[in-house]
Chain A
């Protein structure tokens, strides 16, 4: 189901706005991540889609239908919670059947459907157990099966992987992706983990401070961040951000004076700093010192000093041990300039999609 927000605003006490004039369209059949730091409004947005929260202003559409006044049941959403919210006194099968029981399906139909879904999420061998006997990953699978049982118009996942350990998190995110592909259900996924979002989404909506910072594909988000916040939030290691003025000398002639004069902050992805001989699409050459150099297997990290500013690079390859001062290249790809409002005014590709 396509979800449309038209000018949606939410304030809890009528004073403080949690979400401000949200406008977006989530395409039918896609997997969208709501990403951002905590308190940014991502879970609130999810709650608004679910119908557990009602907007203060604005409209929400499912397809062409205005569902603003409908509750969760009326919107027919399926939801998976961070703590799974399974019913501890019911078996796995009864948990999956619960929405069907509420909908008045016959016992046989319920059992049939529950078996199908359990097979889909790979818990068909656990049907008679209680949730307390399952591992976290298995509980989350059951929660997904329960959410899918009613054949929801849209599947909502609220930080579904946060309670799992690192290894399981990676396994489960692949599973969610697989299940989403197999069922084709429009899915909205809330997370604060950019790595998770980048790996599974068709599109990512970065939310911060009650605003949509950017809503695009993971690739675009990384290659062309709309603003400094997105640039800093996406990417590991974090983008180098330095005052633009420090670079103005080296950028003169490369970047137009007009842009340079408006630029406040420069963002340099760690992979945009490389040695001249490895450069692909150089913008300019910088001169600096090596402070520290670490190598673990294939990955290397160099800490550079440039005009008394510290820069991190991951593309220095093998540096000789005694390297003190050196010239290094600033690549075009991965270099951005932001104005005083944090808006990107240089770099990236606005037509990447």
Chain B
């Protein structure tokens, strides 16, 4: 009875896992097919000859190299900048005493309710007035601070006992040194989690980059890929090859830093 239940569990989970993995498999499989193979019925599961050339062709068919560089720049600067502003703010909210602290904190907590999509229009207007549309500035600036990140880091900083803060003060550490020498290293796992989630978010972001970039040279990978669909038309092999190299970097990040992603989601989810 117990054994049967266990077997049943594995059967269901395996079926589910197959459904989850199938689109990825189909993407890879299609990306390595010849064009006739893609439209063959019954479908070809594994192409006779792997058409690695599709990747080269897709990569050349649109300025994917440029998109890739853009995505790397935007993701890196956004993540580093956001982390920096958030660490400073979270420290102030967690360990410093000053006038207006709680009020500011409550106001920001309140703004977390507002759907970000509402802000797109005024932000677009602001950035056009600053003549930043179609620049890295427009892609990066609005994301250099995130109250969600501040909130998550503050929770972690709060869990560091105040005694540690006093001990560091007695040891002669200034607030600045305490923050960077003690608090940040002590909160390494949360900071890693927040960083990884931010990298994934920035890399995959679509709506905002779509709106602030008309210039082909400023497109990020997802926007570039979306534009490419029109060019690719019915050449699904090329389209799947292009999709693959948009997806692959984050899959690699995920496989190596899975532990932190899961922990990050668990923490922020439970505390939020």
Contacts and interface: CB of A to CB of B under 8 A. Distances in A.
A and B touching (Cβ–Cβ under 8 A): yes
Nearest to A156: B170
A150 B172 contact: yes
Interface in A67-119: 71-73, 77-79, 81-83, 85, 87-90, 98-99, 102-103
A102 B182 contact: no
B167 A79 contact: yes
A289 to B, nearest CB: 53
A85 B161 contact: yes
A106 to B, nearest CB: 16
A59 B90 CA distance: 36
A89 B186 contact: yes
B263 to A, nearest CB: 17
Contacts of A150: 171-172
Contacts of A78: 170
Q: Which of B169, B173, B182, B188 has the most CB of A within 10 A?
A: B169
B163 interface: yes
A81 B161 CA distance: 11
B87 to A, nearest CB: 16
B186 A146 contact: no
B172 A52 contact: no
A154 to B, nearest CB: 11
Interface in B120-164: 161, 163-164
Contact of B172 (A79, A89, A102): A102
Interface residues of B, number: 16
Interface in A145-181: 146-147, 150
B45 interface: no
Contacts of A85: 161, 163-164, 166-167
A88 B172 contact: no
B259 interface: no
A83 B161 contact: yes
A72 B168 CA distance: 10
B177 interface: yes
A50 B170 CA distance: 8
B169 A71 contact: yes
Contacts of B182: 87, 89
Contacts of A147: 170
A87 B172 contact: no
Interface string B168-196: 11111100010000100110100000000
B170 A72 contact: yes
A240 B161 CA distance: 41
Contacts of A90: 185
A321 to B, nearest CB: 55
Interface of B: 161, 163-164, 166-173, 177, 182, 185-186, 188
24 contacts: A52-B166, A72-B166, A73-B170, A73-B172, A77-B170, A78-B170, A79-B167, A79-B170, A81-B166, A85-B164, A85-B166, A87-B164, A87-B168, A87-B185, A88-B186, A89-B182, A89-B185, A98-B171, A98-B173, A102-B171, A102-B172, A146-B171, A150-B171, A150-B172
Q: Which 4 pairs from chain A and chain B are nearest by CB?
A: A102-B172, A99-B171, A85-B167, A85-B163
